[in-house]
A and B are shown apart, each in its own frame.
Chain A
Amino acid sequence: MDFNNVKQGIIELIRKAETELPSDVIKSLKKAYDVEVDVAKTQIKAILDNIELAKKSKRPMCQDTGIQTFFVDIGVDFPFLGEIENLIIEAVKDATKSIPLRPNTVDPFTGKNHNDNTGDFLPYITWNFTKGNNVQITSLPKGGGSENMSKLGMLKPGVGIEGVKNFIVDEVINAAGNPCPPTVIGVGIGGGADLALKLGKKSLLRPIGIRHQDKQISLIEEELIKRINESGIGPMGLGGKTTVLDVHIEKAHRHPASLPVGLVVQCWANRRANIIINSDGKWRVK
């Protein structure tokens, strides 16, 4: 296998995620443009103009190119299982120079920037083993401004699902204009503290407008979208009808004593892209 070629594929994956938004996100922003007026409309227009310019000029749409985050579905029969992690790390270093990306990895103790978007535990890679011999990698570069508004609620089970809904609505309203609304809200309910947040982040991979398969959960998603958008926070917190583009919920079973709610806030730039790498090293970015 030509490892250098696979690395180039992963660089293209990162470039695609940083410079082009998925069509479902663009479609929902265009819908927001149609319903907004005045200042709110100017904000959505700037976002849409920016998306077009970034794609055309192949430059990152936002200066915050995020923490490099990858979800890997790796077939257990893929012949080079042990190579993928290193290829991702090397691709991130290379992409930092070649795309370029803003160096976003800082040591919490010394304040020193690692300058290549790698460092302890970064890039952040989540592994999922599957059947088969292919690898699928999803890139989800995650910006700091929206991540700062994420929250963990260790609620008392007695508050029930109504309490969960109120927690989500209150926190998104408290975040106001800070996370670059209109946002996408990912919520993980159940599990332990870490699993709830993980599910919240993973739910951002679901395209905008796709509801949870469970009817009851899908109705709660719709109710939350409506309640949050009625707050009037609007694009960039300057007032308007669109505060969230979508709310995605995922659930895990929970401990009888715990009701964890992981709330992950994502800015309008819900950047994601995929690559499939075959066992012979051929790749395709989409």
Chain B
Amino acid sequence: MNIHGLSEILLYFMAILLLTAPMGILLFNVFEGRIPFGLRILRPLELLIYRVCRVDPRATMRWQEYSAALLIFSLAGALLSYALLRLQGWLPLNPQAFGAAEVTPDLAFNTAVSFTTNTNWQSYVPEATVSMFSNMLALAMHNWMSAAAGMAVAVALSRGFSRADTDDLGNFWVDLVRGSLYVLFPIALLAALAFVHSGAPQNFSAPQTIRTLEGAQQIVPQGPVASQEAIKQLGTNGGGYFNANSAHPYENPTAASDLLTKILIFLIPAGLTYMFGKMVGNQGQGWALFGAMGALFIAGALVCYGFEQAGNPHLAQLGIAMSADESQPGGNMEGKETRFGIAASALFASVTTAASCGAVNSMHDSFTPIGGLVPLFNILSGEAIFGGVGAGLYGMLMFVVLAIFIAGLMVGRTPEYVGKKIGRYEVQMAMLALLVCAFSILGFSALSSTYDLPQDSAWNRVGSSAAYYGAPRNNVNNAGSHGLSEMIYAFASATGNNGSAFAGITANTPFYNLTLGVAMLAGRFLMILPLLAMAGSLVRKKRIPESAGTFPTDSITFAALLVGTILIVGALTFFPGLALGPIVEHFQLHQLTLQ
């Protein structure tokens, strides 16, 4: 570690700290229906959308209706994406003439689910699979819709705490449209222009054929990269225009665009904690959540940076400099870009996995074992460390319910949080959400690492090619412990709706496309539904006044209890898997074992 890297990480976090309150105020006002002055020019468009879509903006919804609207909306989006992907050969803006052969039914299913659930896992190589049209209308549009839907769920759950004696969780369509128009659109527009300025292309041209200085041919794809970049980060989606994602110089051209990317990823998740405080009428409640998230995030980022900068002992043996100085980066540069270096790459890995974004500016598969354990742990913590747009706040509130339940057991009182009694039903719903995720990650990892498919099984074949892999564990790119990490990471990423990968794994086979697709659906909707049910139960409850026996939840003690709950739940659930993967590999690395 050095002073440059440390100051880079701390300054970034300070920027987030400064932006949290303004962002929270914007979110609060928008979802309370008080549209900020400069954005009122969009008001006619909002009303027009309601009219065209036959939405009654004054209708209120109980949790069942809110959930139904969300589910049908997601289903409609997924079906549309599936159809557009399969039909891309007949659709315009397709200079590379991609068709249905590139997007097989299992891949189209996986991809449609992936973008609908805000995961943006990509089993395919984008620049060799999907047309510009597919990119924009089948995929990038979900970057808005799934993010706005996630925000809506977080707002509805917050209303469960802030409102009392009612059934009314708000109106899903209104929350969806307002989130898109007044929050996502203005910020994404400014960010997209900043990306163009820094070098991200924004055109609709065919790939450029270049004769290089040495006379070779290089074909460089073009397209509307900047617009997708802005919304994919702001909406914590993360799906790349190119295979290399935000490591690609067209997606993330400079250190400045890299910083902007990382700020965009945390902007809304951080702001939502402040919005929550404002909604329940006690800013301390919001900051306690932010504090717990911030502590876990900073600790992870520093550990990741420390191990990446310490580098790889195998390389040190070869006489390769592992410590940085002014003119060279040192550390583990495998899979990292020169313009970012170690600290910005380790920070990015921590940000993108904490926030359930999944964009990457370096290849996590090539990280050192503990450097790679940090992103994996961030995902396993259940989208609670800032988390995805919306998903972070509701994931954290799930842990709040558990923490408050544990605290209640310890002091022997009925647990309560922001004036609401937490009863059996709330704890059951929180546990259900938690168990679904653990079951999906561990169950599918176990299945892929042990299940034997016959050598010529069509279930494990890439696209229409004749390449058979046999058992699913053969799809990994690395042997031994690192290979197991690739499988655990894949299902953690899918279930956590993250979308980043230990990308060596070959996931574009029916087996992985289907299992990962199911994991993404479970991780999104079997988490949202119990939490909306919990909101429905909470919103009906009376507000009880604070008494001497109330455990103060706007305190550092509570933030610490929350951190403890997340660590213990994460550790107990996933430690055996992690021990066989990254932890064992750490010791192998330092004994100079190769595999």
Verify that A and B bind, or say they do not: no
Q: B residues bordering A, Cβ < 8 Å?
A: none
